[in-house]
Amino acid sequence: MPKNGPILTTLAALMLTLWGGRAAAQMPSAPTCATPVAPDGDYAPWARPTTMNAGADQATAPLLPLGAAARLRLVSTPRIQYPIRPEKPGGSVSYGGILILDITAKGAYRIALSSAAWLDVIGKDGALRSTAHGHGPDCTGIRKVVTFALEPGRYTIQIAASGADDVTVMALSGE
């Protein structure tokens, strides 16, 4: 070992301790939820989802009403015929499905999911890029919210790579 070895080892350990503490301080901790909280405002319908079967293809895809939550029974991935291959399709033991969303006014639209499943929105020109993503209100069961800038028209929502065979989904206008 070089004669500076013990000094360098001590210095490295000190730096890791300080750096690790700063990193931990910057990472927000997940809330501890003793009981679920009913969302309010735009998300209030989340607490009263209707049950629907996700489509295995565009012909069987149900319409997702804007501002309403749906508890979707998903389809085994090998049975789904996605219009466009999802960026994260999932494996043969995952689940997914297809929905239709009709938009009548230009604007930002949020799509909320109860799981970390992959979400694609397909328009007339192909898959759209999201403009924002984040989490829903704490303790409400809304795991992720993805925002898209949409023009009036019909869109296909592809849900993929879900580990569970059901998911709650909701589309809302505004950011």
Q: Would residue 91 count as lying in a domain?
A: yes
- Say how far apart CA 73 and CA 164 lie, in whole Å: 9
**Domain around 51:** 41-173
Check whether residue 12 and residue 60 sit in a common domain.
no
Check whether residue 57 and residue 90 sit in a common domain.
yes
Please answer whether residues 121 and 111 qualify as being in contact, where contact means their C-beta atoms are separated by less than 8 angstroms: yes
Check whether residue 21 and residue 80 sit in a common domain.
no
Provide the number of structural domains found in the chain: 2
Check whether residue 14 and residue 53 sit in a common domain.
no
Is the pLDDT score of 39 beyond 50? yes
Check whether residue 145 and residue 64 sit in a common domain.
yes
Q: Would residue 11 count as lying in a domain?
A: yes
Mean pLDDT of the chain: 86
* Secondary structure letter of residue 85 according to DSSP: -
- Say how far apart CA 107 and CA 131 lie, in whole Å: 11
Q: Where residue 99 sits, what CATH number does that domain have?
A: 2.60.120.380
Task: Give pLDDT tens digits for 134-146.
Answer: 999 999 999 999 9
Q: Would residue 101 count as lying in a domain?
A: yes
Q: Under 8 Å CB-to-CB from 33, ≥6 apart: which residues?
A: 138, 139
Strands 132-134 and 126-127: unpaired
Q: Would residue 66 count as lying in a domain?
A: yes
Task: Give pLDDT tens digits for 113-137.
Answer: 999 999 999 999 999 999 999 999 9
Predicted TM-score (pTM) of the model is: 0.80
Q: Would residue 84 count as lying in a domain?
A: yes
Q: Would residue 61 count as lying in a domain?
A: yes
Please tell me the predicted confidence (pLDDT) of residue 31.
65
**Percent of the chain residues topping a pLDDT of 90:** 74
Q: How many Cα atoms are found within 13 Å in the side-chain-facing hemisphere of 17?
A: 6
Check whether residue 25 and residue 48 sit in a common domain.
no
Strands 69-73 and 50-53: parallel
Alpha-carbon distances of 146 from 45, 92, 108, rounded to whole Å: 17, 25, 10
Check whether residue 156 and residue 98 sit in a common domain.
yes
Q: Would residue 35 count as lying in a domain?
A: no
Task: Give pLDDT tens digits for 4-17.
Answer: 555 444 444 444 44
Check whether residue 88 and residue 128 sit in a common domain.
yes
**What value does the mean pLDDT take over residues 96-123?**
97
**Percent of the chain residues topping a pLDDT of 70:** 82
Place of tokens 């003793």: 34
